[in-house]
Amino acid sequence: MPTFADRLAEAVRQKGPLCVGIDPRWESLPKAIRDPLRDELPEERAAIGYFEFGRKVLELVRPFSGVVKPQAAFFEQIGPNGMEMLQLLLREARLLGFVTVLDAKRGDIASTATAYADAAFAGCTVDGDSFPVWDADALTVNPYLGRDAVEPFLTAAKKADRGTFVLVRTSNPGAGLFQDLVCNGQPVYRHVAAEVANWNAPTRGACGLGDVGAVVGATHPKELAELRAAMPDVWLLVPGYGAQGGTAADVKVAYRPDGLGAIVNSSRGVTFPFHPDDPDWEAKIVAAAQKAAAELKP
């Protein structure tokens, strides 16, 4: 099996750097999906709606994107039924050939981190019987707890040929509160970036990039360019393009000269470019995905 980095490189070579974020919200779903569910219990209505919508999005964006990123929070918001739909949707995405990034921003220490990592990658083993849980190609990870909290994710990813994306510089307006504190002449996020570059170095695949990626927001183009240079062999997952305000020009600084090196996420911009009443919602998703893919071409 090729490394995670090489599978991601292949997806980007084939379809470009667009990563489609799947962030379902009940009130935003097309009426065409919500109305037939009106007699279901609310917990099931939401879960079925999220799956139906997510599956449709996968089909519609497939010509324009090789990577999808479901956001765990929105599935967790509707409870255990939602988590089941997250699992089904990740499987569906994999079967359709997508590289899947589970955006869960997990982080904990020692065997607790291993539990999250096993859920994400290898699955669970009970009395010698194994079953998959999320079975994602990559997981987003929060670094605040330090090296021994990140390492279980890296170890589990390595064993299962998967990847991680460590939060370095996030896309929100208040990201700098702790990330920009300057220590020994460098902001905290640069210290995190230096660790990521070290963790990544021994994992480089044929494409020249490794399996330990970094999350760097599109909303801070200066930091994005600086971090591209500081971590030349690290895959960047770039949120904040589109609805959050980052432009295609802003994010292109994240590409390496070979056109690889970054995947650029759009969630609302691609998946909710319609009003819930709109009968043309599918065509609008296709158009939004096509436009984003064209804009983002290296």
Q: How far apart are alpha carbons 259 and 251 in whole angstroms?
A: 12
Q: Is 107 in the site for a copy of itself (CB under 8 A)?
A: yes
Q: Which is nearer to a copy of itself, 198 or 247 (CB)?
A: 198
Residue of the chain from 1, 95, 183, 229 that contacts a copy of itself (CB under 8 A) = 183
Q: Report 30-59 residues binding a copy of itself (CB under 8 A).
A: 34, 38, 42-43, 45-46
Please select the residue that binds a copy of itself; options are 3, 100, 164, 179, rule is CB under 8 A. Answer: 179
Interacting residues of 49 by C-beta distance below 8 A, sequence separation 6+? 24, 26, 29, 33, 34, 37
Q: Is 249 in the site for a copy of itself (CB under 8 A)?
A: no
Active site residue 105: yes
Residue 174 makes contact with a copy of itself by CB under 8 A: yes
214 binds a copy of itself, rule: CB under 8 A: no
- Residue ranges of alpha helices (H) inside the chain are 4-15, 31-34, 42-61, 72-76, 80-95, 110-120, 147-159, 176-179, 188-200, 221-230, 248-252, 268-271, 281-296
Window 131-160: contact mask with a copy of itself (x via CB under 8 A):
x-x--------xxxxxxxx-----------
CA dihedral (48, 53, 56, 62) in degrees, to 10, reads -120
Tokens linked to 114: 């291993």
Query: What residues have CB less than 8 Å from 258, skipping those under 6 apart?
Result: 208
Catalytic residues: 105
Q: Name the residues that contact a copy of itself, by CB under 8 A.
A: 23, 25-26, 34, 38, 42-43, 45-46, 71, 73-74, 76-81, 83-84, 86-87, 105-113, 115-116, 118-119, 124, 126-127, 129-131, 133, 142-149, 167, 170-179, 181-184, 188, 191-192, 195
